[in-house]
Amino acid sequence: MDLRWNHTKYKQEGPIAALTAYDSLTDPSATILGAEQWTWLESELRKPAKVRIIMSSLQFNTGYTGGENWESVPAEKRKMISLLKTTQANGVFFLSGDVHYAEFTKVNIQVCIQFTILPLVVLHGGPGAYEINEPYRIGKAVEKNNIGLINIDWNATPVKLKFEIYGNALDLRPLLTHTVSLDELQF
C-alpha cells in the first residue's frame, strides 16, 4: 500500500517531526490510504485467499509513541480493524518496516501478526527505541541490521507460516524465529 500519497499532513513534518514527535491526527477525516486505496483493499480482502500479506511501510501493531505509525492516525487504524472483521479476511499478517530494529508483534483483532524487518543499511534506533512495542512483542527485538524470510508450509495441517530474521544472507543461523498456524489467523 502507498501510505504517503494520500496521508493527511502532520503539523510538523520531516526531520523536525521525526526528532521531536509526530502529532496524533485525531480528526475523523484524517487518512493514511485515501478513499481509492480503501476501496481497492476491501475488494482484495473479499477475494478468496488462504494467506494475505499486507505490506505497510508503517507499523500497525503499536500504540501511539510519537513515532509515525498507524496509531498516529487512530481513525484509520480503527477502519483497518473494522475492514478486516467485516470482510472476514482470514490469514492476514502485516509486513512492515520504518523502525530501526526487527520484531514480531501480535494483537488480538482476532489475531493480527506483524513481521517488522530492518533494511541492511539503516542506523539503529536510539536508547529505549526497542522497548516501544513490548506489550505486543513476541520474543525479543533484533537490534542490528537484518533481513527477513517468510516460509509457508502448504503441506502442514494446518498450514504453517514461519517468520525468520537473519543478521545477513551469508549467516544461515536465524536470530529470531516465530511460527504461526494459519488456524491462528482466522475469524
Tens-place pLDDT, residues 66-95? 777 888 888 999 999 899 989 999 888 888
Give backbone dihedrals phi and psi of 51, rounded to 5 degrees, phi first. Answer: -130, 135
Strand (E) or helix (H) holding 82: helix 74-87
Domain ranges of the chain: 14-142
CB 22 within 8 A of CB 9: no
The reported pLDDT for the residue numbered 114 is 62
pLDDT at 124: 42
With left for phi above 0 and alpha for psi between -120 and 50, is residue 21 left, alpha or beta? Answer: left
User: Cell match 489475531: residue?
Assistant: 111
Q: Which residues contact 94 (CB under 8 A, 6 or more apart)?
A: 53, 54, 55, 56, 59, 60, 61, 112, 113, 114, 115
pLDDT of residue 122: 41
Structure confidence at residue 14 (pLDDT): 57
Fold assignment, 14-142 = Transcription Regulator spoIIAA (3.30.750)
50's grid cell: 488462504
Segments of the chain scoring below 50 in pLDDT: 111, 119-127
- Give the pLDDT confidence score for residue 159 in this predicted structure: 93
Tell me what pLDDT residue 39 has: 97
For residue 147, the one-letter residue type is: I
The pLDDT, as a whole number, for residue 127 is 45
